[in-house]
Amino acid sequence: SGARAWWFLPPTHKRPVKVNGCDYLRKPGIEPPTDALTCVQKAGDVVHVPAEWWHATCALEPWSAGIGAQRGSPSIYEQNFHSLETYNDNPPLWFRDEQELKEKMEECGVMRTDDKSAGKKPHQTFEQE
């Protein structure tokens, strides 16, 4: 749900200055590199970030949800996120009952049976800045 702006630089580009992607849109004088590729991801779109490419993002709406993944075996990360549940009286949705998660996702429009974006091709407009 929502929309997100993306900026990409190839791995051959020198390491860019670390900046919050939203600063490109909201702070005068902070501009993305002139050779950055950019696109706007909308609900239902898929964005693939090629290996080792630099990227920055900014949510364009007050509420945005997405799912991301990285290459490699999960065993590399050796993280036990469920251990965090013991420290939280109000655990994140991914720790809660599956039915509650489904209801919350339907409530906010992330998961709908009437999703008009289902089956559409990913947004593929890239522009050279």
Mean pLDDT of 20-42: 89
Q: Which residue, 9, 31, 21, is CA-closest to 128?
A: 9
Burial (CB count within 10 angstroms: exposed 0-12, middle 13-18, buried 19+), residue 18? exposed
Q: What's the pLDDT score for residue 125?
A: 34
**What does the pLDDT average to over 46-63?**
85
Q: Which residues pair with 38 in a beta bridge?
A: 7, 127
Q: What is the dihedral of CA 104, 102, 69, 38, to 10 degrees?
A: -50
Interval 75-95 mean pLDDT:
51
pLDDT > 80? residue 121 = no
Candidates 69, 64, 41, 35; CA nearest to 125 is 41
- Flag the least confident range among 5-9, 20-24, 58-62, 112-116: 112-116
The pLDDT value given to residue 73: 53
Most confident of 68-72, 81-85, 111-115: 68-72
In this predicted structure, the answer to whether residue 128 has a pLDDT above a threshold of 60 is: no
